[in-house]
Structure 1
Amino acid sequence: MSVAQSTRAGSSTTVKGGRGSPARRRGRMFIPFVGPALAFYTVLFIVPTVIAVWISLHKWAGSGPMQWRGLSNYVALYHDTLFRRSLLNTLELLVIVGVVMFILSFVMSLVLRDMAGKKIARAVIFFPHMINALVFGAVIGFMFNPGGLVNSLLQAIGVNSPPQWLSPDNLFPLIMAAMLFITTGYYTTILMAGVDRIPPYFYEDCAMAGANAWQRLRYVIIPLTWDVFGVCAVLWTISSIKIFEIIWIFGGSNGVGQPPTQSWTTAVYTYATAFGGQSIPAYGAGTAAAVVSLILVAVLVVLLRRAMRRDVIEF
């Protein structure tokens, strides 16, 4: 009896961990399905990130021997007033443009929800996002330069001393307004998709319960689109810290081939430092700034995900 029990137990153990067990089948399926994506991610992200961190610990001009500096590049960034100004500009762009943009996008998504010709309106408001940033920056620079279209129109209506839009003090607010124009339609389209997926019977129940517009917004629309807001917040956080082209294209306005330092973000600082916009190329210092930007993105995304975490509402 004990031999039979032992035999059954042994066979059970063999079946559980045998070649045909679910665990082994999942293990065999991992390589053909997940392996290529993991290799792709490793080659295009993990390896470049490790190389960037290694370069940031050295003094290097892009060619010749590398000199070990340890954390000196990061200490120099901490004491660099220009980098702190660039970091502050980046955070201002992230927060100010982000808040105004999400308010406008959400309002527009609600207005367009029941509008006739909604698809055409969605295509129109999405169009600015399709324009290349370099082209858009060049057009804006042409329109707002001292002899451009905007100042010509202002002079035509009697404004004898129009603002110097591309001056160092006015350039960054103009860039923020341009980014607001470019991105609002993109996030409106995403939020419209979130609003459109809410089943009509939720609105019917609100009407039967006598809920007003504010109650319908607070207890139905916002909770059911909260996950879409979370995705949009993460996308904007990542893209805002990478903004570079539209800022750099204004460089011709001051005659030195680069924008005034008052309008720099961390992306512009990284490029100018690494490729010698200020002096000789300093790949180590520029890469250190890029690593700091990467850490900033990671921290902000984690904080956003935690702050916007809610129970998933299925409907």
Structure 2
Amino acid sequence: MKYLVTGAAGFIGSATAEKLNQVGHYVVGIDNLNDYYDVNLKQARLNRIKHPLFRFLCLDIADRDAMEALFAEEQFDRVIHCAAQAGVRYSLENPHAYADSNLVGHLNILEGCRQNQVQHLVYASSSSVYGLNSKVPFSPSDKVDHPISLYAATKKSNELMAHSYSHLYDVPTTGLRFFTVYGSWGRPDMAPFIFTKKILDGDAIDINNNGDMWRDFTHVDDIVEGVVRIADVIPQKDEAWTVETGTPASSSAPYAVYNIGHGSPINLMAFVKAIEEELDIEAKKNFREMQPGDVYQTYADTEDLFAATGYKPKVPVKEGVAEFVAWYKDFYGK
């Protein structure tokens, strides 16, 4: 089967492309290799995908003409859309980057799928869409109408845009709300990477909300397993579905949304301690108040995804942290 993977030089995209190759699928990976973070890391991710079934193209999903030509020429069976401008805090500084990539880019992907009869579009949403929701665990059946960052708002918009294409054009779409993904080859703007680097460099780490925060840390291996499995579960129309009796995660159209997370959040300080133990260094800590765009807790209800795919996370935090720290020290020669 022929897949398009967008964001193929990214953390989740590169790991997904590699997994698809391993199980025998042909993958065209695209990425614009922007400098939001170290381009050398992005290139290194691509370099490790040494597989005859992988081909990389440096393209920007916001480039309408390029996307139209790509879809028309390649005729993909399925699309896994991971490309996006990531990061909650950066959306406070550069909001237009989010409109270009997350809105215009997402529309170009939807149009490509519509015009070329793609069997299934699986796209990355985010746990940040839960915003001001306080009921936990977060469920895809919950309303998510109050995002607290532009990044979260664009991800909620992606779900709405996908539904309109599923409804109007019968494009099967599945959104995955990722929960705090970590592991080797991770992003430098995320807490595990930042903490590890600063501890090794002898710098103080910032602890938001004075450490009273909870995150559903999910190892990238578990995430990729869920992504690849859900690609085979193509949403179907449900004529009996109604707004009054159904949930926001399903529809009369071929549309679905799932959480993909570990389902067992841990306290931020416990995660820091796991890193300290792996490095055998006690971190210098700067405790501070909650930061703009941050949420107090993330906690995924993954029952729907488990029912659809049998997906169940396997990597405990201690093992996952050890894997990440070992990779970091090896990659950066620490």
TM-score by length of 2: 0.22
Is the strand fraction higher in 1 or 2?
2
Structure having the higher Rg: 1
Is the helix fraction higher in 1 or 2?
1
Q: Which has the higher contact order (CA 8 A, sep 6+)?
A: 1
TM-score by length of 1: 0.22
